[in-house]
Each structure stands twice: as structure tokens, then as C-alpha cells.
Amino acid sequence: MTTTTPIEEDGVTRRDFLYVAAGGLGAVGTAAAIWPFISQMNPSADVLALSSTEIDLEGIETGSEITAVWQGKPIFVRHRTEGEIEKADDVVVADLPDPEPDADRVIKPEWLIMVGICTHLGCVPLKEQGDYSGWFCPCHGSHYDTSGRIRKGPAPKNLVIPPYEFLDDTNIKIG
């Protein structure tokens, strides 16, 4: 019994084309089917709805501070005194471990808004403590100044300033 020779088309048989088409389409379908299983681990709609938080600054007196929550993280919202602002400016920026002028870290100088997570290993620093009149992290002894900048200790970077804007004089939106 003779075997039928496949019909040749540019060296690729028509039979091969069928197999390639079927296999290819099957692979495309499988990839498309996998996508929902990967996507479902991304933040869900309710979590995304909380990706920005509005904070009312009214009631935070000069020299006092609240801790708000944004995206599950602590946010220090401090109403700084004139003295604290002056102290923040009274530095040689180039000598700082993470050089950054205070003016770059605030929109209005009396409001300091920072992510309250130590840039060393993630503990929450304590306010109004430490050698620089700012924050002190008890975990491994990092000292931050009145602008939230690292001065002494193992933390490599200044406390992070989150993206925020003033909606009006007494309300900010973070994120």
C-alpha cells in the first residue's frame, strides 16, 4: 500500500499548517484563559478605592501631630511650630546623610506630612524624641530631625514624603 505524499507548499505541508493553526489557537486560548487567574491577585476595586485618603487638618494644633492611615500605612501629619521650621533650615544640607533641603519636603512649611515608616527596616518611629528634636526609631536607633530627615543611625534615607495636595486650606488629599 502506497503512502500518500502530502501536498507541498513552500516546504510546509498543508497538514502541518492545520496542526500549527490548531496548536497555535489552542495556545492563544490557554494564555487568554490564564489571565483572569493572574489578574485576580491584583488589588481589587474596593482596595483601589482607598488608594487616596483625604485628611482634615482643622483641629491639629500648632506643635501637635496626628497619625493618619493611607494605603494601610501610618502617615505623620505634623503642624510644625516656627521653632521647628527654623531648626529644619539651620543645617548644611550637603552634610546630611541623605541631603535634602526642608523646602523640598513641604508644600506649606507649617505642615509636615510623611510616611511614618523608618527607612531602615520598617518600624514606626516615635515622635518628639531623639537627639534632633524630631523622631526616634527604637528598633535600631535611627534619629530623624524636625524635617523627618535621617541624621544618625542605620536608616539610609529620609522619611518618605507621600504624594499629596491641598484641596483647600484645611484639607489635604494623599495619593
φ/ψ of residue 84, rounded to 5: -65, -40
When the beta carbons of 45 and 94 are compared against other proteins, the nearer one is 45
* Interface with other proteins, residue 25, by CB under 8 A: yes
Give dist(CA 128, CA 60) in Å, integer. 16
Shorter beta-carbon distance to other proteins: residue 5 or 42: 42
Rule CB under 8 A: is residue 37 a binding residue for other proteins?
A: yes
| Catalytic entry in 79, 120, 140, 143 | 140
141 near other proteins, rule: CB under 8 A: no
Bridge partners (DSSP) listed for residue 166: 172
**Per-residue burial over 20-33, b = 16 or more CB atoms within 10 Å of its CB, e = otherwise:** eeeeeeeeeeeeee
Q: Does 27 bind other proteins (CB under 8 A)?
A: no
Task: Count Cβ atoms below 10 Å from residue 147 Cβ, excluding itself.
Answer: 29
- Residue 21 interacting with other proteins (CB under 8 A): yes
Q: Binding residue for other proteins (CB under 8 A) from 2, 5, 7, 44?
A: 44
Should residue 26 be labelled a site residue for other proteins when binding is judged by CB under 8 A? Answer: yes
Cell 493572574, located at residue: 38
Count Cβ atoms below 10 Å from residue 172 Cβ, excluding itself. Answer: 23
Check residue 86 and report its DSSP letter.
H
Separation CA 98–CA 143 (nearest Å): 13
Tell whether residue 99 is a contact of other proteins (CB under 8 A): no
Can 140 be counted among the known catalytic residues? yes
Assess 15 for contact with other proteins (CB under 8 A).
yes
Residues serving a catalytic function are 140
Residues that bind other proteins (CB under 8 A): 1, 15, 18-19, 21-22, 25-26, 29, 36-37, 39-42, 44-47, 49-50, 54, 66
